[in-house]
């Protein structure tokens, strides 16, 4: 499972938990403005907006999981197995292979409004990157510097773009059904509840936090969707970057998966491999990983964004305990 959010405070912070059981060797990468993209069914692009994100790099090509560009547009791909469907290339449409969607949109769009326009005549094609990297069934969340988010889903009924008022995405089912599910929990509250059950009886409110008693806590995608929406919508706004980044990680870590809890096959468990937080206004990517709770950061503006070659940094790091005695 994966969870992605956009948290708005003084700046806007976008990113995700990547929950899975297979380590693809992801890196933090910067794609500079003059790295050439050779698309499968569209003209090559020699220059574009620069972006930073988390990616598998194969044959010097960035197979991106999530990223933001220098204009403050962010996008993350999350598993969507079942409802997800990609089409054979269709004549007269802009055919974007699923692995090209992130680089294509970040290369060319500044905002979610522009994404809606550019996707109006598009279809997500089922072309694979290679036999080793077949097309992954995904749907995508995109957010921009206005704090607005949208969701892109390709299903048998076509390409759908939905406004996302809660700024959260997880996995199945389709996004409109996830939103509907929220209504089951609208009375969850950070305040201690009033006794409306038996108002004439003096019920002992035995604990703090009883307003969240019915908040789901499962690893499944619906539970994470509801919980992340609740935690995000009640998160305080920080007064500076450090407070905002701290708040952000608390939101996503509230729905992270510890090893041992989500068995995907015999004795094999999905877990939160990394959590990233990308400042849409400043181009900085912060991350933690399962084995390293320290917040690491890469600032894209510290690199030459007019270069031609990908710039890569290690993502998976060892734990870094500060022994004080
Ligand atoms: C597994 C990842 C999604 C995590 C997730 O949503 N987990 C929930 C699992 S489930 O619903 O509960 O089954 C996805 C997100 C981005 C994906 C990667 C990116 O799309 C980039 C390439 C794309 C290639 O086609 C396949 C390899 C790949 C490197 C993908 C591997 C894998 O499918 C990734 C890493």
Query: For each of the chain's 325 residues, which pLDDT tens digit applies?
Result: 699 999 999 999 999 999 999 999 999 999 999 999 999 999 999 999 999 999 999 999 999 999 999 999 999 999 999 999 999 999 999 999 999 999 999 999 999 999 999 999 999 999 999 999 999 999 999 999 999 999 999 999 999 999 999 999 999 999 999 999 999 999 999 999 999 999 999 999 999 999 999 999 999 999 999 999 999 999 999 999 999 999 999 999 999 999 999 999 999 999 999 999 999 999 999 999 999 999 999 999 999 999 999 999 999 889 999 999 9
HSE of 162 in the Cβ direction (CA atoms, 13 Å)?
20
DSSP assignments along 96-131, one per residue: EEGGGHHHHHHHH-SSHHHHHHHTTTEEEE---S-S
| Helix/strand number for the chain, H first, E second | 5, 17
Residue 1 has a pLDDT of: 61
CATH number at residue 68: 3.60.60.10
Residue 317 has a pLDDT of: 83
pTM check: above 0.95? yes
User: Is the CB–ligand 1 distance for residue 68 below 6 Å?
Assistant: no
**CA neighbor of 130 nearest in space, from 75, 61, 67:** 61
Here the tokens at position 32 are: 């500079």
24 alpha carbon – ligand 1 mean position (Å): 9
**CA neighbor of 107 nearest in space, from 53, 27, 146:** 53
Residue 133 has a pLDDT of: 97
Q: Identify whether 187 is part of a domain.
A: no
Active site residues per annotation: 2
Residue 285 is given by DSSP the state E
Residue 179 is given by DSSP the state H
Residue ranges with strand state E in 216-310:
262-265, 268-279, 284-289, 292-299
Q: Identify whether 215 is part of a domain.
A: no
Q: Identify whether 225 is part of a domain.
A: no
Q: Identify whether 277 is part of a domain.
A: yes
Please, what is the Cα angle at 114 between 235 and 160, to 5 degrees?
A: 80
Q: Identify whether 221 is part of a domain.
A: no
Residue 133 is given by DSSP the state S
Relative to the CA of 65, which ligand 1 atom is closest?
Answer: 16
Note down the domain range covering 245.
Answer: 2-172+239-314
Residue 274 near residue 18, CB atoms below 8 Å: yes
- 196 strand-pairing partners: none
Q: Identify whether 59 is part of a domain.
A: yes
Q: Identify whether 125 is part of a domain.
A: yes
Q: Which residue blocks in 162-281 are alpha helix, DSSP H? A: 175-181, 221-233, 241-253
Backbone angles phi, psi at 61, to 5 degrees: -110, 135
In the three-class reduction of DSSP (H, G, I as helix; E, B as strand; rest coil), residue 294 is classed as strand
Number of structural domains (the chain) is 1
65 alpha carbon – ligand 1 mean position (Å): 7
User: Is the CB–ligand 1 distance for residue 229 below 6 Å?
Assistant: no
User: Is the CB–ligand 1 distance for residue 171 below 6 Å?
Assistant: yes
Residues near 222 by beta carbon (within 8 Å), at least 6 away in sequence: 170, 173, 178, 181, 216
């Amino acid at each position: 499972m994966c969870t992605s959010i956009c948290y708005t405070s003084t700046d806007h912070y976008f990113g995700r938990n990547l929950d899975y059981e297979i380590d693809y060797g992801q890196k933090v990468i910067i794609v500079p403005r003059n790295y050439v993209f050779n698309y499968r069914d569209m003209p090559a692009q020699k220059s574009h907006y620069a972006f930073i994100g988390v990616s598998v790099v194969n044959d010097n090509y960035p197979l991106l999981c999530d990223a933001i560009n220098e204009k403050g547009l962010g996008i993350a791909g999350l598993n969507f197995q079942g409802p997800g469907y990609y089409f054979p290339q269709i004549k007269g449409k802009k055919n974007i292979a699923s692995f090209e969607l992130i680089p294509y949109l970040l290369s060319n769009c500044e905002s979610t409004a522009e994404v809606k326009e550019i996707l109006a005549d598009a279809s997500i094609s089922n072309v694979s990157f290679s036999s080793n990297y077949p097309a992954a069934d995904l749907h995508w969340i995109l957010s921009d510097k206005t704090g607005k988010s949208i969701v892109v889903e390709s299903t048998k009924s076509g390409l759908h773009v939905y406004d996302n008022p809660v700024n959260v995405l997880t996995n199945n089912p389709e996004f409109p059904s996830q939103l509907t599910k929220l209504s089951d929990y609208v009375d969850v509250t950070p305040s201690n509840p009033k006794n409306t059950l038996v108002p004439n009886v003096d019920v002992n409110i035995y604990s703090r936090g009883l307003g969240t008693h019915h908040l789901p806590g499962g690893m499944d995608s619906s539970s994470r969707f509801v919980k992340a929406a609740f935690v995000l919508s009640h998160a305080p706004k920080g007064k500076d970057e450090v407070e905002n980044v701290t708040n952000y990680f608390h939101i996503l870590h509230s729905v992270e998966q510890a090893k041992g809890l989500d068995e995907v096959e015999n004795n094999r468990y999905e877990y939160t491999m990394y959590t990233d937080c990308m400042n849409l206004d400043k181009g900085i990517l912060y991350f933690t990983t399962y084995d390293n709770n320290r917040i690491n950061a890469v600032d894209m503006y510290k690199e030459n964004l007019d270069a031609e070659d990908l710039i890569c940094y290690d993502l998976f790091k060892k734990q870094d305990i500060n022994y004080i005695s």
